[in-house]
Amino acid sequence: MDDGTNAAGRFLLTVSTNFLTVPTISESLAGRATILTLWPFSQAELWGSSVGTHSATGAMPPVSAHPTQQSKLTSSAVGASRSTNTVERWFDQDSSLRRAARSSTSRSDYLHKVCIGGFPEVQQLSAHRRNRWFLGYAETVVSRDIAQLGDIRRAAMLPQMLRLAAAQTSSELNVSRWADQLGADRATVQSYLGWLRTAFLVHELSSWRRNRTSRVVQRPKLHVTDSGLAAGLLGLSADALAALNHPMTGPLFETFAVNEIVRLCSAAEMPVSLHHYRDNAQREVDLVLERSDGAVVAVEIKATSSPRPDDLRNLVYFRDRLDAVEPGAFRAGVLLHSGANTLPHDDRVLSASLDTLWQSPR
């Protein structure tokens, strides 16, 4: 790399962890490497949709690329026509989103997608073989990769911690409570959580705030990086999640949706950061997307196939609060659900079938 030839792209280095956070690696390659974060596949990638591109040509660069690099890929590889990336269309207030065609994806279909997730190796496996693959993957990453990279004195606690993360996916992270449940001190839990992030097993949404809005709770919200992995660690099938009032249906559905949006944001032309919102009156918004120019989209996620107007109340509240202090910043509020209809409900607020995230615009 340093021989003076300046031959860009001569080397492709692939790693299974975020090597920039590994303390034992001394060379950062700063200024000499482009870093792409490769998530498990999105539904658009799995089903060949053009969603995620910046052109209507159907050409599709990798949805999982880092946002800065993805914008370079898309601007050079395809034409400059209207975006098909659903997240970008929310920010652009694309009116066609409010009249999307009736969805043919059933709630049962969604739950199967939740339990399969995005790892390419499991897509064609039976449910039994898929769960065995997830357990083997988790054991390999946790017991070998992390244990070898870090100063892990209680390695047996790592699998327990990952299962706890799966059981509490879509929840605010309370490290003190985790420490009590795991029988460990808070500093150890905090350190080991860092290793789960390094190995791309979990990711967190920081709490969203602007100084001119109401006070918010500061805890981040935790998500397992792949909903299929979370379901596999908990031994849950789509049939189990379909049971009335199963406690994990909502959290896993939310994690699946959040992970799909994460992949779309990583392909956006302008960088988008992801957060969650909860104020001191316990009003919550599952996902707050903030573009680098300050524009904001709020997203609520419900596993129900029959959303009610009351499900939109926090989106309306969030819109009104932001309009009052920063007119023009709020672009859209979206309720994603497992039903068939996409309907406008109020000024810049709509409910939409979850598959609008990966179905090509009509």
| pLDDT tens profile 201-225 | 999 999 998 764 545 668 999 999 9
Residue 287's CB is within 10 A of a number of other CB atoms, namely 24
Clarify whether residues 154 and 54 are in a common domain. no
**Residue type for position 49:** S
Q: Which domain holds residue 59?
A: 33-95
**Residue type for position 205:** L
Give the pLDDT band of residue 83 (cuts 50, 70, 90): confident
Clarify whether residues 73 and 148 are in a common domain. no
User: Beta strands of 187-259 (E only): which ranges?
Assistant: 202-207, 221-224
Whole-model pTM? 0.85
**Residue type for position 73:** L
User: Beta strands of the chain (E only): which ranges?
Assistant: 171-172, 202-207, 221-224, 272-278, 284-291, 296-301, 330-337, 343-346, 349-353
Q: Per the domain annotation, does 218 fall within a domain?
A: yes
Give the pLDDT band of residue 238 (cuts 50, 70, 90): very high
Clarify whether residues 216 and 313 are in a common domain. yes
Give the pLDDT band of residue 74 (cuts 50, 70, 90): very low
**Of 69, 95, 121, at which residue does a domain stop?**
95
Clarify whether residues 240 and 139 are in a common domain. yes
Clarify whether residues 62 and 157 are in a common domain. no
In the predicted structure, residue 60 carries a pLDDT above the cut 60: no
Q: For the chain, how many structural domains are there in total?
A: 2
**Of 44, 73, 95, at which residue does a domain stop?**
95
Instruction: Work out the average pLDDT over 332-348.
Output: 94
Q: Per the domain annotation, does 208 fall within a domain?
A: yes
**Residue type for position 56:** A
As a whole number of angstroms, the distance between CA 182 and CA 166 comes to 14
Clarify whether residues 236 and 144 are in a common domain. yes
- Please, which residues have CB within 8 angstroms of residue 188's CB and are 6 or more apart in sequence? 154, 157, 179
